[in-house]
Structure 1
Amino acid sequence: MARSWTRLHEHLGRPMGRLTHGMIMDAVASKLGETDDLDWKKQLPTFVPKPGIWNEFAKDVTAMANTRGGLLVYGVTDDIEAVGIDLAEVNEQQLTQTLRNGVQPYLSGVDIVPLPAPGGGGPDFLIVDVTPSELAPHFQYGWEQKDKDRATFNAPYRVGSETFYMSEHQVARAYQERFSRQARAETALAELVQQAASVVLGESVPGCAWLVVAGRPARPVPRLVPAPRASQFRHEDVAVDPAPQPHVHAVAEPIGQSAADPVRIAVKPKPCGGLNAFEQGGLGLGTARQAGAMVELHHDGGVVVCVDLSHPMASQIGAALVDTWTLPTALGEAVAVIDAHRRRRLLDSTVDITAAIVADGNNGPDFRFIACGYGNGQPRAIERARQPLRVIPATTELPPIADDDVLQATGKELVEGLLHQFGINAH
């Protein structure tokens, strides 16, 4: 998926979104120079095999993936003049095949975007958008001619506008960073869920079932994004319901004193369900349904959304009653909050999302999760539904650019992952 925040967005002062032909022309007019994440190219790449010569296209893409991602813009000279290219000569299959055959491990975060001039007038461009890879280091395979033709490979990376090749100790460090990054990401997401669950369960009546949704970006906030201030999270629109519905309005206060602390807000759902009418103040979760939700907005782009899925009957029957009527709405709006906060923090990263249903685990061996629906406006257990001892968390990924259809599909995937454990189909 193409990124939504690039060097061009930052230089031109544009909001997050897809690259446009006009943005390329504006960047050329302002003589934006090459950097480690921007490379102007006059001509389309060629693919004539020549022994002893690296494939420049594979080298350039791999170098950006191994650094922090970037844009290859074809149709602009080194002197930053827009000369354009012939889009009819672009062979996207050949470009992707070159990367598939010439780079290991496989590079999945590459998007090829043709940008024809509006109305057919003016130069056409081709954008190759490379995301920073979580699987770095990537190696470019090729041939060199020395005594006999032999296969060789290197791991290129960029420093400014120049490309260099990793030495042995740099490769070792890159591998160490890859494995550590993956482990940290999994641990951090699990900790978000566990910490939020301990807060809401610790301040709820026994037997309450809570939906806990945590989202965390796969990549950190870009260096181009200015450091946030706590005041930015006050009286601001946080999310758009993916239905869509009107903006959700939030009033938030930071937790703690430093910029690294999250913002936590208490939420009361409207009678029809969902995360509406955010309220400032403490959690106030002492009585079920007094304040039915909690949201945390983290400065690194992480989000936690907790929603009470139970009702007062839970404490009377010794089971966690899971309100399947509230669940889809809550998950849909949780995904919208995650996406909106990612946009506010200028993150063009995929976001890993985990959704869990939790309850107090000290209720004895016979404690069950019971799916609850509504009949004639009254809560009732759903007949023939499974009653699991625990609900396994559902996981998914939210892509970098998500419209309303993508948000709804992401929410539905999480709903299905949870409700199917009760033997219930998501609607």
Structure 2
Amino acid sequence: MARSWTRLHEYLGHPPGPVTYEMVSEAVQRKLGESDDLDWKEMVLEEAKVKGEWNEFSKDVAAMANTRGGLLVYGVSDAVELVGVDLDKIDEKKLAQWLRVYLQPVVTGVSYLKLPATDGSGKDVFVVDVPASETAPHFLYGWQQKDKDKTTFNAPFRHRDDTAYMPEHQIAAAYQARFARQDAAEAALDKHVRHTTDLISGELDHPAAWLVVVARPARPLPRTVPAPTREGVKYVIASSVKRADGALDRAVPLRRLLGPQLFSDLLDNNPGRGLRRWVETNMLVPARVTSRRGILVELHHDGSVVTAVDLSHKAPNDGMPGSSTLPVSCPALINTVFESVALAHEHRLALRADSPLDLRAVLTVLPGANWSLRLAPTVIELGRLAIAEWGRQPRKVQPAEGELAPFIDDEALASAAAELTDGLLHQFGMNIRGD
């Protein structure tokens, strides 16, 4: 999945969407010049003859990633004329391998678009779409004869229509910007968790184990992205249920023991308006409150997604006076994480966002901290929930964190959800495989 808004879209006045051959051809006819986010390339360079020698392809990708992302368009000359490339000779796996070998840290999220000619000219085009990197600066390593065969490394970047190399002060600024982004992301995730736990705590009159999952785009959405509509949000929720269903089948042995999915089973899919968000819940609106497991879903206009589920509801000993343990349903925990990750991905697709998603899952006792209770994991035994006596019973569970890459398939989504789930389950002495 490539980015949906690029220099070509802006120049040609096209709405967000995939880059097409027609767009490249029109930009060439109109003599669109190179810029910091567009680089015309006549051909894809072959691998260096000497192992470890300077790799131009990796340099160009790093330069885009270190700036603000952009397109490398192969098959267009420096004079901005369409010359074409042989798509059959381009090995995308080899290109990806070069990025892993020559760059530190590796640039992720790069997509490759083979665009056969549609005008009968036979001049095919190959586009490499590089997103702006959250882990910049990226350094290029290799050998250069001009440096007397010594190993060298530097951080390339785009300056207008040229590629240059960062001096020391610019590298220092790039690191500062990376750390500032990380701090801002941490603060934003914490804010979502605090807001949600405060909101839920005000509705509770007994201790309960709640799982809050937050997903937030690492980069802001373009200003041109319209706010989601109610019908759009309903479609996102319905689509996420199907995607989560497939991810669970891929990742969880004996998936049938987890029971029905929570979002489809406990929600009416009738979201209401919130403050720059859509909210779907079965607990905050008096007319919709039920005795079933509490659940809250928020889809924010900025691409963030917040879900919260009561994992202790209907578990054995729930709410019993004098109990020193608070049962936590592990099947519900697994369902919640997978459905939350699928929902975040579907929301991102609907907004045509190309950013990675920062993920955080927090399991906590509400209302407030109750240190006298131990969280007891429950599993399915003989068709019913029962406390896993062999599992750990921690008083506090550390948050689990992860990332959802912008260009993923269903297998990668299932893997990301499983990793986030195991981050919680490991603290109970178990994992998603049940061993």
Asked if 2 retains the 8 angstrom alpha-carbon contact of 1:285 and 1:292, the reply is no
Q: Which residue of 1 aligns with 2:124?
A: 124
Q: CA deviation at 1:97?
A: 6.6
Q: CA deviation at 1:303?
A: 1.5
Asked if 1 retains the 8 angstrom alpha-carbon contact of 2:392 and 2:428, the reply is yes
Q: CA deviation at 1:196?
A: 1.9
Task: Give the whole-Å Cα distance in 2 for the aligned partners of 1:393 and 1:286.
Answer: 30
Q: Which residue of 1 aligns with 2:281?
A: 267
* Paired residues for 1:216-295 under 5 Å: 216-222=216-222, 225-226=223-224, 228-229=226-227, 232-237=228-233, 238-239=236-237, 240=239, 241=241, 242=243, 243=245, 249-255=269-275, 262-263=276-277, 265-268=279-282, 282=284, 289=291, 292-295=294-297
Asked if 2 retains the 8 angstrom alpha-carbon contact of 1:205 and 1:286, the reply is no
Alpha-carbon spacing, 1:417–1:16, altered in 2? closer, same or farther (3 Å):
farther
* Paired residues for 1:160-171 under 5 Å: 160-171=160-171
- Deviates further, 323-332 or 172-181: 323-332
Secondary structure of the equivalent of 1:199? Answer: helix
Q: Please report the RMSD computed on the Cα atoms of aligned residues, expressed in angstroms.
A: 4.1
Asked if 2 retains the 8 angstrom alpha-carbon contact of 1:75 and 1:85, the reply is yes
Secondary structure of the equivalent of 1:300? Answer: coil
Asked if 2 retains the 8 angstrom alpha-carbon contact of 1:214 and 1:305, the reply is yes
Q: Across the two proteins, how many residue pairs are aligned to each other?
A: 400
Q: Which residue of 2 aligns with 1:302?
A: 304
* Paired residues for 1:335-354 under 5 Å: 335-354=341-360
Whether 2:82 is the aligned partner of 1:82: answer: yes
Q: CA deviation at 1:284?
A: 5.5
Alpha-carbon spacing, 1:263–1:21, altered in 2? closer, same or farther (3 Å):
same
Alpha-carbon spacing, 1:377–1:8, altered in 2? closer, same or farther (3 Å):
farther
Whether 2:318 is the aligned partner of 1:314: answer: yes
Alpha-carbon spacing, 1:171–1:250, altered in 2? closer, same or farther (3 Å):
farther
Asked if 2 retains the 8 angstrom alpha-carbon contact of 1:217 and 1:349, the reply is yes
What whole-Å deviation, never above 9, does each CA across 1:289-341 have from its counterpart, x for those lacking one?
A: 46821223333322211112222652215332222333333222211221122
Asked if 1 retains the 8 angstrom alpha-carbon contact of 2:42 and 2:76, the reply is yes
Q: CA deviation at 1:213?
A: 0.4
5+ unaligned residues in a row in structure 1: which ranges? 256-261, 269-278
Q: Which residue of 2 aligns with 1:61?
A: 61
5+ unaligned residues in a row in structure 2: which ranges? 247-260
Asked if 1 retains the 8 angstrom alpha-carbon contact of 2:225 and 2:351, the reply is no
Whichever structure has more helix as a proportion of its residues is 2
Q: CA deviation at 1:348?
A: 0.9
Asked if 2 retains the 8 angstrom alpha-carbon contact of 1:201 and 1:208, the reply is no
Task: Give the whole-Å Cα distance in 2 for the aligned partners of 1:424 and 1:101.
Answer: 36
What whole-Å deviation, never above 9, does each CA across 1:28-67 have from its counterpart, x for those lacking one?
A: 56765533222222223366799xxx86544432321111
Q: CA deviation at 1:99?
A: 5.2
Alpha-carbon spacing, 1:294–1:233, altered in 2? closer, same or farther (3 Å):
farther
Q: CA deviation at 1:26?
A: 5.9
Q: Which residue of 1 aligns with 2:196?
A: 196
Alpha-carbon spacing, 1:6–1:289, altered in 2? closer, same or farther (3 Å):
farther
Q: CA deviation at 1:74?
A: 0.5
Q: CA deviation at 1:70?
A: 1.1
Asked if 2 retains the 8 angstrom alpha-carbon contact of 1:267 and 1:291, the reply is no
Task: Give the whole-Å Cα distance in 2 for the aligned partners of 1:373 and 1:144.
Answer: 63
Q: Which residue of 2 aligns with 1:411?
A: 417
Q: Which residue of 2 aligns with 1:274?
A: none
Asked if 2 retains the 8 angstrom alpha-carbon contact of 1:85 and 1:125, the reply is yes
Asked if 2 retains the 8 angstrom alpha-carbon contact of 1:205 and 1:287, the reply is no
Secondary structure of the equivalent of 1:66? Answer: helix
Q: CA deviation at 1:111?
A: 4.2
Q: CA deviation at 1:181?
A: 1.6
Whether 2:236 is the aligned partner of 1:208: answer: no
Task: Give the whole-Å Cα distance in 1 for the aligned partners of 2:218 and 2:344.
Answer: 13
TM-score by length of 2: 0.75
Asked if 1 retains the 8 angstrom alpha-carbon contact of 2:114 and 2:125, the reply is yes
Q: Which amino acid aligns with 1:252?
A: G
Q: Which residue of 1 aligns with 2:363?
A: 357
Whether 2:335 is the aligned partner of 1:329: answer: yes
What whole-Å deviation, never above 9, does each CA across 1:359-380 have from its counterpart, x for those lacking one?
A: 1354353x11123356788654
Alpha-carbon spacing, 1:135–1:381, altered in 2? closer, same or farther (3 Å):
closer
Task: Give the whole-Å Cα distance in 2 for the aligned partners of 1:143 and 1:405.
Answer: 39
Q: Which residue of 1 aligns with 2:179?
A: 179
Q: Which residue of 2 aligns with 1:272?
A: none
Asked if 1 retains the 8 angstrom alpha-carbon contact of 2:271 and 2:280, the reply is no
Q: CA deviation at 1:75?
A: 0.8
Q: CA deviation at 1:68?
A: 0.8
Alpha-carbon spacing, 1:372–1:41, altered in 2? closer, same or farther (3 Å):
same
Alpha-carbon spacing, 1:283–1:8, altered in 2? closer, same or farther (3 Å):
farther
- Of 395, 402, 418 in structure 2, the residue corresponding to residue 396 of structure 1 is 402
Asked if 2 retains the 8 angstrom alpha-carbon contact of 1:233 and 1:252, the reply is no
- % identity of equivalent residues: 44
Q: CA deviation at 1:389?
A: 1.8
